[in-house]
Amino acid sequence: MEFCDECGSMMKAEDDLWVCGSCGNKQPKDPDASFVVTEGQEETEIVDVSDAQDRGLPTTEVVCPNCENDRAHWYMQQIRSADESETRFFICTECEHRWREDDN
């Protein structure tokens, strides 16, 4: 997500540009950034969680649904609109299975 340098409004992605819906300002997208687009949602940056332990992610006691290990690294990410709470993601310390808190 980008914000306009001219008026501070949220910009929308159009091809290789960020376009401000309020003032019409256009900025080129950063070619080094990675994004995921899902239907009905805004673009979000991909969180690189490879080598979670080396990146200093905190751990907690939670049971992995894949291997039943009782420890996992975790991080929070805003994936819905700003008025919704963040989602907590887990990475098993044993098998590196990934899941989010609301998965059942």
| Distance, CA of 27 to CA of 47 (rounded, Å) | 23
Residues 101 and 53 in one domain: yes
Residues 54 and 98 in one domain: yes
Domain boundary among 31, 46, 61: 46
Residues 42 and 69 in one domain: no
Residues 67 and 80 in one domain: yes
For residue 33, give its domain range.
1-46
56 is in an annotated binding site: no
Domain boundary among 46, 63, 79: 46
Please determine, for residue 104, whether its predicted confidence score (pLDDT) is greater than 50.
Answer: no
Residues 32 and 9 in one domain: yes
Stretch 4-20: mean pLDDT, rounded?
83
67 is in an annotated binding site: yes
Please determine, for residue 46, whether its predicted confidence score (pLDDT) is greater than 80.
Answer: no
Residues 20 and 38 in one domain: yes
* Exposure string for 50-87, b = 16+ CB within 10 A, e = fewer: eebeeeebeeeebebeeeeeeebbbbeeebeeeeeeee
Predicted confidence (pLDDT) per residue in 67-103, tens digit? 999 999 998 888 777 788 888 999 999 998 999 887 5
64 is in an annotated binding site: yes
> Which alpha helices (H) appear in the chain, and where do they start and end?
none
% of the chain with per-residue pLDDT over 70: 73
Cα four-point dihedral sign 32, 33, 36, 41: negative
pLDDT at residue 97, rounded to an integer: 92
Residues 6+ away with beta carbon under 8 Å from 17: 26, 27, 28, 29
Residues 72 and 90 in one domain: yes
Mean pLDDT over all residues of the chain? 78
92 is in an annotated binding site: yes
